[in-house]
Amino acid sequence: MRRRTWILSALGATGALVVGWGVTPPRSRIGSGALMLPTEGDVALNGWIKITAAGDVVLAMPRSEMGQGVHTSLAMLAAEELDVPLERVRLEQAGADAIYGNVAIFVSALPFHPSDTDEPDKPATVRAGQWVVSKIARELGVNATGGSSSIAELWGPLRMAAATARASLLDAAAQQWGLASTELTVVDGVVQHASGKKAPYGTLARDAAARTPAAVALKDPKDWALIGQPARRTDIPAKTNGAAAFGMDVRLPGMLFAAVRHCPMLGGTVQSLDGKEALAKEGVVALVPLEAVAGSTAGFAVVARTTWHASRALDAVQVQWKQREAGALDTRTIEAGLLAKLQSDSGFTFYSTGDAGKAEAAAARTVEATYRAPYLAHATMEPMNCTAQVKDGQVEVWVPTQVPGMVAAIAAKTAGVSQDKVKVHVTLVGGGFGRRLEVDFAAQAVRVAMACDGRPVQLVWSREEDTTHDFYRPMHVAQLKASIDAQGRVSSLRIKSAGDAISPRWMERGLPMLAGPVDMPDKTTAEGLFDLPYGFAHQHMAHIATRMGVPVGFWRSVGHSHNAFFSEGFIDELAFETGQDPLAFRLGLLTSAPRYAAVLQLAADKFGWARPLAAGHAKGIALHGSFGSIAAQAVEVSLADGQPRVHRVVCALDCGTVVNPDTVAQQMESSVSFALTAALYGRIDIQDGVVQQTNFPSYPIVKLAHSPVVQTFIVPSTRAPAGVGEPGVPPLAPAVAQALFALTGKRQRALPLAA
């Protein structure tokens, strides 16, 4: 209760936002048609749906397409409720209104235990916390693509907007024909009656726009024609024929190009800058100093006629760098500091049940281990880039981003204009993984554009700048301890972890109105540790939030990405210590978590857990819940030339209702590649403040020749959709580590894994 009371006290700091909310209804998320872009011949029926003269559907799209297939899946929801073919839905970038904001991503950040949030009768403190945060999120309307929340978040609002549009169109036809709307049906966007009367949506749209239907009902799942069926990705043709426009593809009349260089030492500054030699080079237009902004490190940009000219001129700039005042960062020192924190600090307790201390005192023996995970970069295929134009008091930005509203805010602040003077065009995103939840590169582009006399400028970071000036997944360590009683049963589990909290730092950079003087406990630090499904009678889960100085940010699956390695790795140790098969040991602890047990068993069955493998091959299995979904992975591993080689990964997933099973399978395949790269190679080392890894030769990724075969099996479900883009990442590393232990007898407690 103390933990919950503390959380609600922190939420109370929102003060004025909460006043009067007890009597006001929730903000409608349907919105007015005036919110959509006015285009000749199109009629907006609400803030999400327009109908063209030809009867096609235009959908306001508030989420970024980063390869996850969300533009297809969200279009499927609209097509389903409107009864039109998917190919007749086209997308239009949504505006900045609060109806497009992401509510779920903020509500899911509350550090409540699943045993509370999954119950039909939630504790009053949980309901109050979720209600307050939901209200704040609706008012703020932060449009963010992240947290595997796009489908889960818009599952209700988007379908309801489409269903409302359909009801308005039916009402319009019913009025014209003097019939009851209940007598009408829709086939492929054409309203029909048994008498033979027909009218395509395009002929009814203007009458429908003036109507507010009395009753709107979502389609019954038994009548779904699209949801749950494989559908071709609508973004693939353009991506394969070269027509797709990513951020780096933007080309505008008179455009200039800029290259950036930051102080090599993280947090460092520019002591002196001499650009005379650089400015004399062919094609160079300007040298622009860059202050540290939105969490970035200070540096400078060179503007030229081409990116090549700008990049070459960087080396001609005479610059003296200055180390940060707090001293040089070093990962060895940081790790030692985190390990010391485990011994000296009790941390914040995220979850406790039973009496772990009493169980430890009565134990026949205890098992302890310390696990470690390094800093990681995002290494997106498309480096950071942004195109900006500042002219006549207006700012226009073309950017691959996950947070267009935050880009608009930082652009306005940088240019010194009001936010209504800023227009943001969201391009396709060549990989986000959380890096494009930041706005530092957009602020830099606007600052550079301000120095270019109204000409548009495209700022592109080199791969080296991208790798050495990221917002990294934080380094974390964990101390795990379990009690084993006289009968050989595990009676308690205690976990204490330490590492930087991401959410407070992110809010300081992009949402300062939510960043308070005291950090609220950040769920991302302890997720995957405090919310385990295993039925240990005595548990105590705590985290020590630190601030080590390295810029940290959200990374695909966030805290789950390393905490699953900690928790599942230790579960394997306990299975070994009690002489049990890793699968059987887990199933024995899941008697009160049948959804988890079903996913784990499905992965094992499809893998063929009981069948022997070829000589020199070993298996591993891991289970983890994240972003509302449950994922299990079974792997087959061998050693080739002394290096781990993963041959096969079988994924089982319970992610609630599935919109497009093809994209679910694609996301599992993507997750495996992403997670395997991190498990085998990923680490960022910092010496004297300088990141040592600079490009793919020193920060490698899994190549196609070493990519495993990935099979995905989905558990049928009638639950609302949950996350898909990230839940496939956490189980991979511990499953591979388990197989490596079987091959080598060496216990893996640190990432990246070694043979």
- All structural domains of the chain, each given as residue ranges with its CATH number in brackets, are 31-102+141-240 (3.30.365.10), 247-323+378-468 (3.30.365.10), 577-755 (3.30.365.10)
Cα 186 to Cα 85: distance, rounded to the nearest angstrom: 12
Which residues, in sequence order, are CB contacts of 257 under 8 Å at separation 6+?
A: 303, 304, 305, 306, 307, 309, 310, 457, 458, 459, 460
**Edge-to-edge strands, sheet with 284-290:** 284-290, 299-304, 256-262, 457-460, 385-391, 394-399, 422-426
- Say whether 443 sits in a helix, a strand or coil: helix
pLDDT value at residue 26: 56
Cα 373 to Cα 478: distance, rounded to the nearest angstrom: 9
CB atoms within 10 A of CB 615: 6
Cα 401 to Cα 27: distance, rounded to the nearest angstrom: 26
Helix (H) or strand (E) holding 278, with range, is helix 276-279
pLDDT value at residue 462: 98
Burial of 240 per CB tally in 10 Å (0-12, 13-18, 19+): exposed
Q: Directed axis angle between helix 502-510 and helix 404-415, to 10°? A: 50
Burial of 592 per CB tally in 10 Å (0-12, 13-18, 19+): exposed
Name the maximum alpha-carbon separation found in the chain: 83
The token pair that represents 17 in the structure block: 């936002």
DSSP 624: E
Task: For the chain, give the mean pLDDT.
Answer: 95
Amino acid present at 386: C
- Ranges of residues in the chain whose predicted pLDDT is under 50: 1-9, 12-21, 23
pLDDT value at residue 123: 87
Q: Interior CA angle at 289 toward 284 and 291, to 5°?
A: 150
- Say whether 286 sits in a helix, a strand or coil: strand
Strand pairing report for 284-290 and 348-353: unpaired
pLDDT value at residue 127: 87
CB 500 within 8 A of CB 553: no
Helix (H) or strand (E) holding 207, with range, is helix 201-209
DSSP 70: H
Strand pairing report for 457-460 and 256-262: parallel
Which residues, in sequence order, are CB contacts of 280 under 8 Å at separation 6+?
A: none
pLDDT value at residue 408: 98
DSSP 220: P
DSSP 219: P
pLDDT value at residue 620: 98
CB atoms within 10 A of CB 516: 14
pLDDT value at residue 249: 98
How distant, in Å, are the alpha carbons of 46, 72, 161, 208 from that of 167?
12, 23, 10, 9
Which residues, in sequence order, are CB contacts of 276 under 8 Å at separation 6+?
A: none
Cα 543 to Cα 531: distance, rounded to the nearest angstrom: 13
pLDDT value at residue 516: 74
pLDDT value at residue 117: 83
The token pair that represents 528 in the structure block: 């995957």
